[in-house]
Chains A and B, each alone.
Chain A
Amino acid sequence: MSQVEKKAGLLRRTSSSKKPLKEKVVLMYDEIFAKEDPAKNNPRFWDELFLMKVNLEYLESKLESVDGEEVQRIQDNINSLFHHCVQALAEEHQIKVVNALQTLCALFRGVHQKNKSASGFDIINMLMGFDKAEQRMKVCVEERKECREPQEPLSQTAAYVKMCSQVTDNISQNTILEYVMINSIFEAILQILSDVASRGQHGYDAVVLLALLVNYRKYESVNPYIVKLSIVDDEPTLDGMGMVVHQALTEYNRQYKDKEEENQGGFFSTLTSMVGSMFIADADEKLSVQTNEAILLALYEAVHLNRNFITVLAQSHPEIDIPITPTTPTPMTPTAPLGTTPPSLDMMNNPELPLDPNLQTSNLLITFLKYASIVMQDTKDEHRLNSARLCLIILTCIAEDQYADAFLHDDNMNFRVNLHRMPMRHRKKTVDKNIPSRPLVCAVLDLMVEFIVTHMMKDFPMDLYLRCVQIIHKLLCYQKKCRIRLHYTWRELWSALINLLKFLLSNETTLLAKHNIFHLALLVVNLFNMFITYGDTFLPTSNSYDELYYEIVRMHQVFDNLYCMVLRVSTNTGQWKEAASKVTHALINVRAIVNHFNPKIESYAAVNHISQLSEEQVLEVVRSNYDTLTLKLQDGLDQFERYSEQPKEAAFFKELVRSISLNVRKNVSLNTMSQDVLLKEFSTIS
Chain B
Amino acid sequence: MADAEVSLSPALRPLQLSPSHSSPPPPPASSSPTTFSCPSSPSSASSSSSSSSSSSCSESSSDCPNHHHHHHHHHHHQPRPQLQLPPPSPGEQPSSPSASPRSSSPSGSIGSTGSLGSSSCASEGFGSSGVSSSGGGGEPRGQSPPLDVISEDAMEMDLTVDQVIDPEVALKACQEVLLQVQLQSRDGPEQQLQQQQQRQQQQQQVQQQQQQQQQVQQQQQQQHLQQQPQQQPQQQQQLTEQTQSEQTQSEQTQRCSPQWIVSPDTSSIKEEDEEEEEGPEQTPPQAARLPSSSSRGSSSSKQSWLLRLFESKLFDVSMAISYLYKSKEPGVQAYIGNRLFSFSDGDVDVYLPQLLNMYVHMDTEVGDAIRPYLIHRCRCSITFSLLTAWLLGAYSSDMHISTQRHSRGTRLRRLILSDELKPSDTHVSDSPAPSPSDRRRHRRHNSSSVEDASVPGEAEVVASPSRRTHQRSKSDATTMSSVSGAGLRRSGSNPKIHEEPERLRPQREFVKSLLCIGKRLATLPTKEQKTQRLISELSLLNHKLPSRVWLPTAERQHHVCRIPHTQAVVLNSKDKAPYIIYVEVLECESFETSPIPLRIPETRIRSARSAENLDCGGGGSTNGMTSEHRAGSFSTVPNYDNDDEAWATDDIGQLQVEAEAQTSSSDNISQFSVDSITSLESKEPVFIAAGDIRRRLSENLAHTPTAFRRDPEDPSAVALKEPWEEKVRRIREASPYGHMTSWRLLSVIVKCGDDLRQELLAYQVLRQLQLIWQQERVPLWIKPYKILVMSSDSGMIEPVLNAVSLHQVRKQSQMSLLDYFLQEHGSFTTEEFLTAQRKFVQSCAGYSLICYLLQVKDRHNGNILLDSEGHIIHIDFGFILSSSPRNLGFETSAFKLTSEFVDVMGGLDGDMFIYYKMLMLQGLIAARKHMEKVLQIVEIMQQGSHLPCFHGSSTIRGLKERFHMSLTEEQLQLLVEQLVDGSMRSITTKLYDSFQYVTNGIM
Partner of A351, one of B506, B525, B540, B632: B540
- Check: B647 CB closer than 8 A to any chain A CB: yes
A482 to B612, CA, bound (A): 10
B80 within 8 A of A: no
From A534, A541, A582, A644, B701 is in contact (CB under 8 Å) with A541
Is B662 among interface residues, defined by CB-CB distance under 8 A?
yes
> How far, in angstroms, from A230 to B655 measured CA to CA in the complex?
10
B702: nearest chain-A partner, CB-CB: A542
Given contacts A230-B650, A308-B603, A536-B694, contact A339 B506 (CB under 8 A): yes
Contact of A631 with B687 in the complex, beta carbons under 8 Å: yes
Give the A interface residue count (CB, 8 A): 97
User: Contact at A629–B691, with CB atoms within 8 Å?
Assistant: yes
Complex contacts, B615 vs chain A, CB 8 Å: 481-482
- Tell me, in angstroms, the Cα distance from A542 to B693 when the chains sit together: 10
Taken together as a complex, chains A and B put the C-alpha atoms of A226 and B647 apart, in Å, by 12
Q: Measured between alpha carbons, how far is A227 from B660 in the docked complex, in Å?
A: 16
- Option from B513, B603, B629, B687 in Cβ contact (under 8 Å) with A233: B603
Q: Bound complex: CA of A387 vs CA of B985, how far in Å?
A: 71
Stretch at the interface among B166-174, B663-671, B821-829, B988-996: B663-671
B256 within 8 A of A: no
- Nearest-neighbor residue (CB-CB) of A232 within chain B: B603
Q: Which parts of A533-549 form the interface with B (CB within 8 Å)? A: 533-537, 539, 541-542, 545-546
Q: Whole-angstrom distance between the alpha carbons of A222 and B654 in the complex? A: 9
How many angstroms from the CA of A344 to the CA of B675 in the assembled complex? Answer: 49
B297 within 8 A of A: no
* A234–B528 CA distance with the chains assembled, in angstroms: 32
A218: interface (CB < 8 Å): yes
A403-427 to B contact mask, C-beta < 8 Å, 1/0: 1001100111111000000000000
- Separation of A254 and B516 alpha carbons in the complex (Å): 31
Q: Which of B621, B644, B651, B694 contacts A545 (CB 8 A)?
A: B694
Q: Please tell me which one of the listed residues B544, B621, B719 contacts residue A341 in the complex, with CB atoms under 8 A apart.
A: B544
Pick out which of these stretches binds chain B: A50-58, A64-72, A632-640: A632-640
With both beta carbons as reference points, the residue of chain A lying nearest to B657 in the complex is identified as A222
Whether B651 lies near A403 (C-beta < 8 A) is: no
Residues of A within 8 A of B548 (CB): 340
* Complex partner residue of A412 from B566, B636, B650, B679, CB under 8 angstroms: B566
Once bound together, how far apart are the Cα atoms of A252 and B97, in whole Å? 93
A402 within 8 A of B: yes
Confirm or deny: B633 has a beta carbon within 8 angstroms of a beta carbon on chain A.
yes
Q: Which residues of A contact B908 (CB under 8 A)?
A: none
Q: B679: nearest residue on chain A (CB-CB)?
A: A635
* Residues in A neighbouring B643, C-beta threshold 8 A: 642
Please determine whether B566 and A402 come into contact, CB atoms closer than 8 angstroms.
no
Q: A340-B596, A632-B685 are in contact. Are A480 and B618 (CB under 8 A)?
A: yes
* A571 on interface, CB distance cutoff 8 Å: no
Closest to B545 in A: A338
A352 interfacial contact with B, CB 8 Å = yes
User: In A569-608, which residues have CB < 8 Å from any B CB?
Assistant: 582, 585, 593
Judged by a CB distance under 8 angstroms, whether A646 is at the interface is: yes
Q: A406-B734, A535-B697 are in contact. Are A338 and B510 (CB under 8 A)?
A: yes
- Cβ of A357 under 8 Å from chain B: yes
Stretch at the interface among A82-90, A150-158, A280-288, A310-318: A310-318
With contact pairs A360-B532, A639-B676 given, residues A633 and B636 touching in the complex (Cβ less than 8 Å)? no
A647 on interface, CB distance cutoff 8 Å? yes
Could you tell me if B690 and A402 are in contact, using CB atoms closer than 8 angstroms? no
Q: Is the beta-carbon distance between A542 and B698 smaller than 8 angstroms?
A: yes
B413: shortest Cβ distance to chain A, in Å?
Answer: 20
Q: For chain A residues 463-516, which have a beta carbon within 8 Å of chain B?
A: 480-483, 485, 487
A311: chain B residues within 8 A (beta carbon): 602-603, 605
Instruction: Say whether B694 contacts A483, CB under 8 Å.
Output: no
Interface membership of B688, Cβ < 8 A: yes
- CB–CB B694/A537 < 8 A: no
Known: A311-B602, A535-B697. A641 touches B540 (CB 8 A): no
Q: Collect the chain B residues with CB atoms within 8 Å of residue A353's CB.
A: 520, 533, 536-537, 540
Chain A residue at smallest Cβ distance from B736:
A311
Determine if B677 and A636 form an interchain contact, defined as CB atoms under 8 angstroms apart: yes
Residue of B nearest to A478 (CB): B614
Of all chain B residues, which has the CB nearest A541? B701
A533 touches B670 (CB 8 A): no
Give the contacting residue for A627; candidates B513, B566, B689; CB below 8 A. B689
- Residue A265, interface by CB 8 Å: no
B505 within 8 A of A: yes
Point out the residues of chain A lying under 8 angstroms from B659, CB to CB: 644-646
A648 engages B718 (CB within 8 Å)? no
Q: Are B509 and A339 in contact, with the CB atoms below 8 A?
A: yes
Contact (Cβ within 8 A) A481 B685: no
A348: CB under 8 A from chain B? yes
**In the bound complex, do residue A539 and residue B677 qualify as a contact, i.e. CB atoms below 8 Å apart?**
no
CA distance A351 to B670 in the complex (A): 47
**Chain B residues with CB under 8 A of A640:** 670, 672
Question: Which residue of chain A has the shortest Cβ distance to B625 in the bound complex?
Answer: A633
Q: Is B524 in contact with A361, judged by CB distance below 8 angstroms?
A: no
In the complex, the answer to whether A537 meets B623 with C-beta atoms within 8 Å is: yes
Residue of A nearest to B629 (CB): A633
Residues of A within 8 A of B539 (CB): 315-317, 347
Nearest residue, chain B, Cβ from A222: B653
- Set of chain B residues within 8 Å of A329, measured between Cβ atoms: none
Q: Which chain B positions have C-beta within 8 A of A315?
A: 539
Whether B569 sits at the interface, judged by CB under 8 Å, is yes
User: Is the pair B506, A338 in contact by a Cβ cutoff of 8 Å?
Assistant: yes
Quick one: given A336-B544, A341-B544, are A630 and B506 in contact (CB under 8 Å)?
A: no
Smallest beta-carbon distance B911→chain A, Å? 39
CB distance from B627 to the nearest CB of A (A): 13
Question: CB < 8 Å: which of A227, A238, A630 contacts B688?
Answer: A630
As a 0/1 sequence over residues 606 to 619 of chain B, the CB contacts with chain A under 8 angstroms (1 = contact) are 10000100111110
* Apart from A307-B647, A347-B540, A640-B672: 17 A-B pairs, beta carbons within 8 A: A233-B603, A337-B510, A338-B505, A345-B544, A353-B533, A402-B644, A403-B606, A414-B710, A519-B669, A533-B693, A541-B701, A542-B697, A630-B688, A632-B687, A634-B676, A644-B662, A647-B663
Interface set of B (CB-CB < 8 Å, partner A): 502, 505-506, 509-510, 512-513, 516, 520, 523-525, 528-529, 531-533, 535-537, 539-540, 543-545, 547-549, 566-567, 569, 596, 599, 601-606, 611, 614-618, 621, 623-625, 629, 632-633, 636, 640, 643-644, 647-648, 650-653, 655-656, 659-660, 662-663, 668-673, 675-677, 679-680, 685-691, 693-694, 696-698, 700-701, 710, 712, 718-719, 734
5 residue pairs, one from A and one from B, having the closest CB atoms = A636-B676, A639-B672, A308-B603, A635-B676, A626-B691
Q: List 27 A-B contacts (CB under 8 A).
A: A222-B653, A337-B544, A338-B509, A338-B510, A340-B502, A341-B544, A347-B539, A347-B540, A355-B523, A357-B525, A402-B606, A411-B718, A481-B616, A481-B618, A483-B616, A483-B617, A483-B700, A526-B673, A537-B621, A542-B697, A585-B680, A623-B694, A626-B694, A633-B687, A639-B633, A639-B676, A641-B670
